[in-house]
A and B are shown apart, each in its own frame.
Chain A
Amino acid sequence: DTEVTQTPKHLVMGMTNKKSLKCEQHMGHRAMYWYKQKAKKPPELMFVYSYEKLSINESVPSRFSPECPNSSLLNLHLHALQPEDSALYLCASSFRVGLETQYFGPGTRLLVL
């Protein structure tokens, strides 16, 4: 299994809603990442987890809250988002941080109304 899966594929939420994005991999990778990608722009790193511990937070607003319950699962909890947070949210994983290929999921397309 060389796949990173993300659910849901699409999400529409209001500014007062609370929702979560989910990412899963079963490749035994111990590094997992969240990226945000706006249209026609490259992905921007948001968070990095290494061995289930948060190792990087790229000054992301607190309305985004990551969680890594176990080595296969990564969540991104969303609360009180703004319309400018609408984007494609990509999850990636690698065997270890830094040294190997990153494998990306298909992304969750988020629209905040």
Chain B
Amino acid sequence: KQEVTQIPAALSVPEGENLVLNCSFTDSAIYNLQWFRQDPGKGLTSLLLIQSSQREQTSGRLNASLDKSSGRSTLYIAASQPGDSATYLCAVRAEDNFNKFYFGSGTKLNVKP
């Protein structure tokens, strides 16, 4: 069974810092990987989707990379802002069952002004 782990569980940084969030998965047979942010008590907002054939995706200050063979993805946030404070979740979709979407438990980010 696919296990998705996110480290660290929580992170607090001063505004302006660049930071990296990590996601690892045990089964490299994935179809794609998606990064989300979730504000407290709210739904999930999709940030970036990386197909298994891709190495990275960029959107604004966000850059996500994928190393499928080693079972790792990173989300890089440049010049962090207080508005980036949220929980960041990664989720992988199984290659053999598109219905299966496995979530990590998230990294709670606090960006201090």
Query: CB within 8 Å of B: which residues of A?
Result: 4, 6, 33, 41-45, 48, 55-56, 88, 90, 92, 97-107, 109
Residue in B32, B44, B105 whose Cβ sees the most chain A Cβ within 10 Å: B44
A-B contact count (CB 8 A): 54
Residue in B42, B91, B105 whose Cβ sees the most chain A Cβ within 10 Å: B42
Chain B residues with a Cβ closer than 8 Å to the other chain, count: 22
B42 and chain A: residue at smallest CB distance: A106
A47 and chain B: residue at smallest CB distance: B99
Interface string of B1-42 (1 = CB under 8 A from A): 000000000000000000000000000000110101000011
Interface string of B68-98 (1 = CB under 8 A from A): 0000000000000000000001010100001
> Is there an interface contact between B93 and A104, defined as CB atoms closer than 8 Å?
no
What's the Cα separation between A48 and B41 when bound, in Å?
A: 23
Q: Which 10 residue pairs are nearest across A and B when measured between Cβ atoms?
A: A98-B98, A42-B103, A104-B44, A104-B43, A106-B43, A56-B99, A107-B43, A101-B49, A101-B46, A48-B99
Q: A41-B105, A42-B89 are in contact. Are A98 and B44 (CB under 8 A)?
A: no
Query: CB within 8 Å of A: which residues of B?
Result: 31-32, 34, 36, 41-46, 49, 89, 91, 93, 98-101, 103-106
A103 and chain B: residue at smallest CB distance: B46
What's the Cα separation between A90 and B89 when bound, in Å?
A: 15
Q: Which residues of A contact B46 (CB under 8 A)?
A: 101-104
- Choose among B34, B42, B104, B106 the residue that contacts A102 (Cβ–Cβ < 8 A): B34
What's the Cα separation between A16 and B95 when bound, in Å?
A: 41
What's the Cα separation between A43 and B34 when bound, in Å?
A: 14
> Is there an interface contact between A107 and B101, defined as CB atoms closer than 8 Å?
no
What's the Cα separation between A104 and B35 when bound, in Å?
A: 13
Q: Which residues of A contact B34 (CB under 8 A)?
A: 101-102
- Choose among B36, B42, B99, B101 the residue that contacts A55 (Cβ–Cβ < 8 A): B99
What's the Cα separation between A90 and B103 when bound, in Å?
A: 14
Q: Which residues of B contact A55 (CB under 8 A)?
A: 99
Q: How far is the CB of A30 from chain B (nearest CB, A)?
A: 13
B45 and chain A: residue at smallest CB distance: A104
